[in-house]
Amino acid sequence: MPVMEFVQPIRDKNQINTMKKILKSASLRDYCLFTLGINSGLRISDLLKLKVSDVIDISGEIKERIYIREKKTNKVKDFPISKVANEALKEYLTNRKDLSYDEPLFISRKQYTGKASLQRDQAYKIINNAAKSIGIKDRIGTHTLRKTFGYHAYQSGVDITLIQKLLNHSASSTTLRYIGITQEKMDDVYLKLNL
């Protein structure tokens, strides 16, 4: 298991798109994990516990919403699946062999007894290796997906108190620090003032 460290969001949208291409060329599962992660703000523990039934209905169509109970907070999380995440899920699930409704969404390639979920340390390696392969120098890990969601929501003009609520943080100052905004904003004061 990797040592827990403070990781950064991926701030550059071109890097996000390049990572998607790298991941997609290697594995639709990894591409879908990354895409759903950066478009949902879910913790990696919640992403990895998703079942096929959490994202598709009994007729095999992608659901409009994901409804789960968060592992860390035990709170219910109910949110719509974005268009980009929907397309990634469709592509991934269409190409998945012998799909069962009750199995893990992100299945491990290592089969012990039955089908097991991808493990956190393997998800870390997948995301970290893809980031390194495109030259990202910041510390990247599984939490990067959630932070990237929050960072880009903030950059697109979403109020910090709404992002705080979406991420289940107790204070907006925590959310700003979490998504890497505080230092950046303070630096901007020095760089833009120029009295």
Catalytic residue among 49, 143, 147, 152: 143
Active site residue 146: yes
State the catalytic residue, choosing from 20, 29, 146, 147: 146
Under 8 Å between Cβ of 127 and 16: no
Tally of CB atoms within 10 A around 13: 11
Is 43 among the residues known to form the active site? yes
* 115 in active site: no
Tokens of 156: 């697109």
Q: Residues 20, 49, 147, 169: which is the catalytic one? A: 169
Point out the catalytic residue in the list 72, 83, 110, 137: 72
Among this protein's residues, is 152 annotated catalytic? no
CA 70, distance to chain mean position in Å, is 14
| Residue 133 near residue 22, CB atoms below 8 Å | yes
Q: Which of 51, 34, 65, 77 is nearest to 166 (CA)?
A: 77
Choosing from 31, 92, 151, 178, the catalytic residue is 178
Per the annotation, the verdict on 169 as an active-site residue is: yes
Q: Is 69 a catalytic residue?
A: no
**Looking at 20, 29, 43, 147, which residue is catalytic?**
43
Give catalytic residue positions.
43, 72, 143, 146, 169, 178
